[in-house]
Amino acid sequence: MAFFASVLFATSAAAEPQNFVLDAAHTHAHFELKHFGTSTIRGRFDVIDGSITLDRAARTGSASMSIPTASVSTGFAPFDGIIRGTYLLGTAQHPTAYFVAQRFGFDGDRLASVTGEFTLRGTSRPLTLRALRFSCRMTDEPAREVCGGDFETEFLRSDFGITHSLPFVADRVRVQLQIEAVRQ
């Protein structure tokens, strides 16, 4: 069985780069940060658009994602309004955050990381997403290839000019990203 799987991967890997579009129903960014040293603020961005190019043979890839900052959701609407406000995300002035990656890191055949530039509130910084898991599969109906995985990263919100409530609300933001993309 392992032999057939390696032949299948080698056959598909010999092809040229493949293009994928993010599946909005299965792609979300979750975030968390410490709140006044007592609890953890958690939320997510419900809308992420983007595309991925993957060349398994060359072990390279690229990704482009846009996140409407107004899509933030903590489950508590009044708090969502505060997060969207001028002192935090500033969604009126900065309606979109971006992640653009040109470097995919592999450990053998396994995707290990995606490195690029994250732009939030008009400020861009390097960012690496660590792949916790990543795989591709064929679906039956409709017949198509779907790739997806779970990624994580951390960044300092102060690096993007978000200093409101420091040090009471932590500077370090942890992000967990679930992605599924459909081959075009």
How far, CA to CA in Å, does 122 sit from each of 115, 162, 165?
Answer: 19, 11, 20
* Nearby residues of 183 by Cβ (< 8 Å), 6 or more positions away: 18, 19, 20, 144, 145, 146, 147
Cβ atoms of residues 32 and 40 within 8 Å: yes
- The reported pLDDT for the residue numbered 177 is 97
Domain of 164 in residue numbering reads as 2-183
CB of 170 closer than 8 Å to CB of 41: no
Q: What is the pLDDT of residue 134?
A: 96
Structurally, the chain folds into a number of domains equal to 1
Position 168 scores a pLDDT of 94
117 token code pair: 């530039």
Phi, psi of 15 (to 5 degrees): -75, 170
Instruction: Tell me the per-residue pLDDT of 106-119, one tens digit each, with 9 for 90 and over.
Output: 999 899 999 999 99
116 CB-contact burial (10 Å; exposed 0-12 / middle 13-18 / buried 19+): buried
Task: Return the pLDDT at 15.
Answer: 64
Residue 50: give its domain's CATH number.
2.40.128.110
pLDDT per residue, tens digit, the chain (184 aa), is 443 344 344 444 456 899 999 999 999 999 999 999 899 999 999 999 999 999 999 999 999 999 999 999 999 999 999 999 999 999 999 999 999 999 999 999 899 999 999 999 999 999 999 999 999 999 988 899 999 999 999 999 999 999 999 999 999 999 999 999 999 9
129, 152 contact by CB (below 8 A): yes
pLDDT confidence of residue 6: 41
